[in-house]
Amino acid sequence: MRLPACLLLALLALPAAARTRTVVGMVSDAAGRPVAGATVRVFQLPPDAPGWVPWQSCGAIDPVTKRSFSCEDEARLRIERVQKRRGQAREVAQTRTDAQGAFQLKGLPRGSYSLWAEDPVGGAGVALFTVPAEQALAVSLERSIARPLQVQDDAAQPLGGVTATLVAIPSGRFFVRRADSRGAVSLQGLPAGEYALVALQRGFLPEHLSLELPSTRGPLLTLYRPRSFIGHLHRAGVPVAGAEIALDGRPAARTNDEGLFALEGLRAGVHRLEAHVGRDFLREHVEVGGRLGSEPVDFELETLGHLVGRVVDAAGEAVPYAEVGLETSRQGGLPPFTADAQGRFQQWLEPDVYDVLARAPGRVSCAIKALSLQEAETKEATCTMGTQVAVRGQVVDPQGEPVPGVEIVASAAPTQWPPPSARTDAKGRFSLAGVGAGDVVLEAKKGSLLFARVQAHAPAEALVVKLQTLGSLTARVEDAHGKPLAGLPVLLGGPGLERHVELVLGAGVRQMSDAAGSVHFDGLPADAYEVTVQREVEGLRLEVRAQVHVQEGVSGRVLLRFAGTEGADRLRGRVVDAEGVGIAGAEVWVGSASGAERAADGTTRVTSGTTLTDASGHFASAPLPPGRFEVFASAEGYRPMDPLEVGRDEGALELVLARQHYVLARVVDAQGVPVPRVSVDGHAQGGPDGALRHPIYVDGIMKLRIGAPGFAEVERRIEVRVERDADLGEVTLGGGAALQGVVVASDGHTPVAGATVGLLDEKEDGQEFGTSTETRTNALGQFHFENVPEHLRLLRADAGARGAARLLVRDASQPLRLRLEENVTVQGRVLDQAGRPVSDAWVELACEQGQWGRTKTDSQGRYALQAAPRGTCTVRAEPPDAPSSSAPPPPAYAPVELRLPSAGSVQVELRPRQGKASLRVRLPGGNEFVQLALFRGGVALPREQAAMERLRRLALPEDPNLVFTGEDGLTYITNGPDTYVYRGLEPGAYTLIVTEESASGLRAQLYPVTLREGAEQTLSVPFPTAGTVLEP
């Protein structure tokens, strides 16, 4: 932002001491015009106590504890600060802008500040700065369009009178708003940015919500009434006194002499309950609220298992003071610990299946996969570190000349820890000792300009590592008049990022434009990149994308200019109902037409934007750049309309909304009393009087599962039409059935405590559909369910390493008995074409009845997975990603199908397919509603209406030539720079069908491709698809 010459001269005339305490700047509107008479207020957030943590986002580092500031910590701290009014920014100065929009602030002490500018018509802007200021400030005012925050109670009813405090992050300025009688909290007049919202109301628990404004959809906040929970802890039937109870990872209570504990002020829902007493433990998930009453819930302590281990080298000698880590799929990574001088270690652990990893300085790491530990079991294990070998070679520059003084590092497993490194001698030669045998990735770097990444197989001799000269890229962001735009996020992406992600991430892929509107990306390998910048103007999110090719050793430049919106046309029109009556408060969404927002040609695109209609239903968008746009409207009580594609100069639009119709019902209990807090398909929708309204979106048969806390779900079917309401009449909820039983071990009589028992739905083919509710067995192996609806009749018990069981309940009146089947271990190795082990390859086990597992191979290519002994399984392997684009494509592995034995283990060795081909399909970023299907040979596009419906439902017409890559041979692509790889294909001719949904209909394009034996071919698919319209 340029300042008037008189103001600049006045600033230069100030003495040096005064300049350090004076701040000057200018306030402008979204079009860059000066704003006279704007109020400028300055706030300072001083540390209010030793160890003060500033307002921040979760994931930041706490300066006191030096640990990550979790989202749970963030919410708790923010609520505490607002309740005590701590951390509120203090206003230290105020002024107004002159006729030229300029302002001057004097006498500010050194420090950090936030500056807020506001005009009388609702425009607002904010800037962060420090004193002494390095440059003049430029603040742009924008009118943010934000739907109000809706506050409700835990019965889904509007909650009025709530005090909502919004805290600007990171400046700490407080904005206090109050919910109206309908529970709505206005968010108007707040500048774009991140806010922490804390809601307080007598009789409810305080609640926290993170907001990013402006918001195109009104956020929803639920306040919960405090609940209580009473428990009874015992061991073998004897009460346990003095045990500390933790709730959701934080100390919460202590048991009394009778083993009782009480938890107060809880939110309704599922919580994690934990206790450790000596070598016994408790870990349960409990439901607070709902059907639980005031009676204590019994909990039985379990006994920990004992892991005794030793870390040795390849000769069997002890490795002293090795660092040992443990990981499980259920508990995640546990805190690491250190072995003693003889390499010994021991840990008391919960029963589970563990992966053990050990590492030590100067040694090759070792791992033990799928180590099963039972309750009260002592298990011994030895972790043997691998053999150390060497990699030798020479580093040369792009011209092939030796390069001395280059640091080269073995950066990927299997290797020693810390990773071995070396420096090249005068002839560019290096020798890396202590590398683990197997595949290894080497990185070489010379200053900030030369870099190489190669893959090798250790041991190796005479390896040549060729450096390439890194380039750089400078992007400048401007408005339509060529003025620099500061403080906008610029994102680096494209194929270059995909191929060199680790190196480019180190250079920083997201940077904020400086005062000159520039960002600089250093250390980029030669490749094609995409640069993106977004800007918010009058509720419109504008975007400019540009493609640029960075050449080796060259500093590239790219200009990102927001052009075409100043003084440009607006979309204007009216939102009306079917009778032509204007709809006030309707939300109108505008965005560039499908495919346009993905273009990277440097033009300005609209990714999204909203505006609201006035009292008569009229609207006007912000100024739009040239192009075609999609527009649609939505309003409370109306069905959202389908997007309409229009031009910028379309003239007055009339957007017609149809009334939203509903399935209506009155829900009562067996005595005819209305049931409050009714839910449909798990979502709260009923009112306090038992009235239910469920929206109708499509014609056809609608299946509803209606339930409420303390009642069993019932299922109702009704034929509906979108143009009228459908009345279900009175729906009666009952208590449902009670299921109880016991889980026993594979011997048929030993009770299994702590097993997870789940009630599931069942598909017509008998496959498990999903867990609806779970419980844990007590000390006697018993479980109990109340109010079980009829559709939940599949029981599944899982006891980790002890096995699993599955039972279809046919008679709920009899006690049930689930007998565990011992898990079978599927283990083996992944090998390359030469029969050498492949480390870090992904191995997947997929079995009947929904069993599934996934793991990575260790340094010797070994893996181990577990499954219950039931049915047929398929084992697949995916190779590690290639380290660079110059590396050969990884091989495709042949899947192995096997039938599991009744017990024990089975060995499966996975090798690459011989002579197979691969197809890599690459799509640009941001592809929503895109599908891929690959066929052998040539195919024609399906045209029958039934085929269209199956295509829309991700189920192409059955064809014997369809290449199955999953259950239906399709891949559903979401946002991002997308790549999909078909592996293990027979050489020959194929046809790829790409379909894309847009405003003009379902569009498809055919891509014939011929695949060669043993090769991988890349197919880049452009957008928008210029194909046949299958379905308008």
> In this structure, are residues 215 and 187 in contact, taking their beta carbons and an 8 Å threshold?
yes
Confidence of residue 803 (pLDDT cuts 50, 70, 90): confident
Provide the pLDDT for residue 656: 93
* Candidate from 329-333, 735-739, 966-970 with smallest mean pLDDT: 966-970
Task: Tell me the C-alpha distance between 1011 and 986, whole Å.
Answer: 8
The CA distance from 323 to 993, in Å, is: 51
Q: Which of 1021, 673, 1024, 746 is nearest to 903 (CA)?
A: 746
Eight-class DSSP state of 76: H
- Of 330, 361, 384, which residue is a domain's last? 384
H helix and E strand count, the chain: 6, 84
pLDDT band of 968, cuts 50, 70, 90:
very low
- Domain end position, chosen among 446, 469, 492: 469
Averaged confidence pLDDT in the chain:
77
Claim to verify: residue 173 and residue 135 sit in the same structural domain: no
Tokens of 177: 């708003």
What are the CA-CA distances from residue 149 to residues 166, 191, 219, 589, 599 (Å)? 11, 16, 5, 19, 34
Q: Is the pLDDT of residue 482 over 80?
A: yes
The pLDDT score that the predictor gives to residue 95 is 92
Neighbouring-strand partners of residue 116? 41, 126
Exposed (0-12), middle (13-18) or buried (19+): which is 824, by Cβ within 10 Å? buried
The per-residue pLDDT for 46 is 54
The DSSP annotation for 648-706 comes to: TT--SEEEE-PBP-EEEEEEE-TTSPBPSS-EETTEE---TTSEEEEE--SSEEEEEEE
More confident residue, 506 or 721: 721
325 — alpha (psi -120 to 50), left (phi > 0) or beta? Answer: beta
pLDDT at 681: 74
Which residues make beta-bridge pairs with 176?
165
Report whether pLDDT(255) > 60.
yes
Residue 933 and residue 931: Cα distance in Å, rounded? Answer: 7
Please indicate, yes or no, if residue 726 is contained in any of the structural domains.
no
Instruction: Find tokens 């003693």 and name the residue.
Output: 340
Clarify whether residues 745 and 780 are in a common domain.
Answer: yes
Residue of 362, 408, 410 lying closest to 386 (CA atoms) = 362
- CA-based max dimension of the chain: 94
pLDDT band at 769 (very low <50, low <70, confident <90, very high): very low
Please, how many CA atoms are within 13 Å of residue 703, restricted to the half-sphere of its CB?
Answer: 3
- Answer yes or no: is 672 within a domain: no
Distances in whole angstroms, Cα of residue 867 to Cα of each of 189, 804, 852: 57, 9, 8
Across 248-274, average pLDDT:
86
Q: Are residues 207 and 249 in the same domain?
A: no
Mean pLDDT of 719-724: 89
Instruction: Please say if the pLDDT value at position 318 is more than 80.
Output: yes
pLDDT of residue 600: 58
Amino acid 416: pLDDT: 61
Q: Tokens standing for 650? A: 């379309």
With 0-12 CB in 10 A as exposed, 13-18 as middle and 19+ as buried, what is 664?
middle
Amino acid present at 944: E
Average pLDDT rounded to a whole number, residues 359-381:
85
HEC profile for 213-277? Answer: ECCCCCCEEEECCCEEEEEEEEECCEECCCCEEEECCEEEEECCCCCEEEEEEECCEEEEEEEEE
Q: What is the mean pLDDT of residues 659-665?
A: 91
Task: Please tell me the distance from the alpha carbon of residue 705 to that of residue 731, in angstroms, as a whole number.
Answer: 11
CB 751 within 8 A of CB 781: yes
Q: Out of 224, 243, 274, pick the residue that ends a domain.
A: 224
pLDDT recorded at residue 952: 43
Q: Chain centroid to CA 16: how far?
A: 50
Residues 123 and 192 in one domain: no
The phi, psi pair for 232, rounded to 5°, reads -130, 115
343 to 315, 320, 384, 913: CA distances (angstroms): 14, 5, 11, 41
| 61 and 202 both lie in a single domain | yes
Confidence of residue 63 (pLDDT cuts 50, 70, 90): very low
Are 379 and 400 within one domain?
no
Query: Residue 413's domain spans which residues?
Result: 388-469
Q: Does 96 fall in a domain?
A: yes
Q: What is the CATH number of the domain that holds 795?
A: 2.60.40.1120
* For the ranges 577-581, 592-596, 896-900, the one whose mean pLDDT is highest: 577-581
Are 210 and 62 in the same domain?
Answer: yes
DSSP codes of every residue in 140-205: E-B----PPEEEEETTS-B--S-EEEEEEETT--EEEEE--TTSEE--TTPPSEEEEEEEE-TTS-
Residue 643 corresponds to which amino acid? P
Q: What b/e readout covers 331-367, taking b as 16+ CB neighbours within 10 angstroms?
A: eeebeeeebeeebebebebbbbbbbbbbbbeebbbbb
Which neighbouring-strand residues pair with 1007? Answer: 992
> Is 585 contained in some domain?
yes
Q: Average of pLDDT values for 730-741?
A: 84
Most confident stretch, 103-112, 399-408, 605-614 = 399-408
Q: The pTM is what?
A: 0.52
Q: Is the pLDDT of residue 167 over 50?
A: yes
Among 343-347, 503-507, 806-810, the range of highest mean pLDDT: 343-347
Task: Please state the rounded mean pLDDT for residues 871-881.
Answer: 79
Whole-angstrom distance, CA of residue 729 vs CA of residue 692: 10
Please state the separation of Cα 611 from the chain's center in Å.
29
Kindly report the number of other CB atoms within 10 A of residue 293's CB atom.
8
HSE toward the beta carbon, residue 524, CA cutoff 13 A: 29
Q: Specify if 435 maps to a domain.
A: yes
Band of pLDDT at residue 669, cut at 50, 70 and 90: confident
* Judgement on whether residues 118 and 178 belong to the same structural domain of the protein: no
Specify the pLDDT at position 953.
Answer: 41
Using 50, 70 and 90 to split pLDDT, how confident is the model at 309? very high
Q: What is the per-residue pLDDT across 25-49, written as a single tens digit (0 to 9) for each?
A: 888 887 778 889 999 999 886 554 3
In a domain, 285, yes or no: yes
Tell me: the pLDDT tens digits for 348-357? 888 888 889 8
Cα Rg of the chain (Å, integer)? 33
Higher pLDDT, 854 or 886: 854
Q: Which pLDDT score, from 0 to 100, does residue 649 have?
A: 76
Three-class secondary structure of residue 798 per DSSP:
strand
Domain co-membership, 177 together with 96: no
Judge whether residue 92 has pLDDT over 80. Answer: yes
The two tokens of residue 581 are: 């009556």
Q: Please determine, for residue 53, whether its predicted confidence score (pLDDT) is greater than 80.
A: no
Q: What is the pLDDT of residue 617?
A: 94
Q: What per-residue confidence (pLDDT) applies to 1032?
A: 46
Q: Is 689 within the bounds of a domain? A: no
pLDDT (0 to 100) of residue 417:
63
Predicted pLDDT at 395: 92
Q: Looking at residue 65, what is its pLDDT?
A: 40
DSSP string of 569-602, one letter each residue: ---EEEEE-TTS-B-TT-EEEEEEPTTGGG--EE
Q: How far is CA 774 from each of CA 109, 704, 714, 785, rounded to the nearest angstrom? A: 60, 22, 19, 9
Choose among 421, 439, 440, 441: nearest CA to 431. 421
Of 251-260, 453-462, 593-602, the range with the lowest mean pLDDT is: 593-602
Question: pLDDT band at residue 772, thresholds of 50, 70 and 90?
Answer: low
Percent of the chain with pLDDT over 90: 12
Instruction: Indicate the pLDDT class of residue 727, thresholds 50, 70 and 90.
Output: very high
Q: What is the CATH number of the domain that holds 524?
A: 2.60.40.10
∠ CA 933-936-940, nearest 5°, is 70
Q: 120-123: long-range contacts at Cβ-Cβ below 8 A with a sequence spacing of 24 or more?
A: 120/37, 122/188, 122/189, 123/29, 123/30, 123/35, 123/38
Tell me how many domains the chain contains: 10
Is 679 part of a structural domain of the chain? Answer: no
Q: Given pLDDT bands bounded at 50, 70 and 90, which one contains residue 72? A: low
pLDDT band of residue 886 (cuts 50, 70, 90) is very low
Cα separation of 928 and 782, whole Å?
48
What pLDDT is stored for residue 766 in this prediction? 39
* Statement: residue 928 has pLDDT above 60: no
- Paired tokens of 448: 């900030």
Q: What are the helix (H) ranges across 914-979?
A: 945-952
Q: Model confidence over 626-658: pLDDT tens digits?
A: 888 888 898 888 987 888 888 877 778 999 999
Between residues 463 and 888, the one the model is more confident about: 463
* 1 lies in the same domain as 95: yes
Query: 759: pLDDT confidence band, cut at 50, 70 and 90?
Result: confident
Q: Which of 195-199, 255-259, 445-449, 452-456 shows the highest mean pLDDT?
A: 255-259
940: pLDDT strictly greater than 60: no
582 lies in the same domain as 600? yes
The answer on pLDDT for 60 being more than 50 is: no
Shared-domain flag, residues 138 and 19: yes
Q: What percent of the chain has pLDDT over 70?
A: 78
- pLDDT value at residue 985: 74
Phi-psi region of 697 (alpha: psi -120 to 50; beta: other; left: phi over 0): alpha
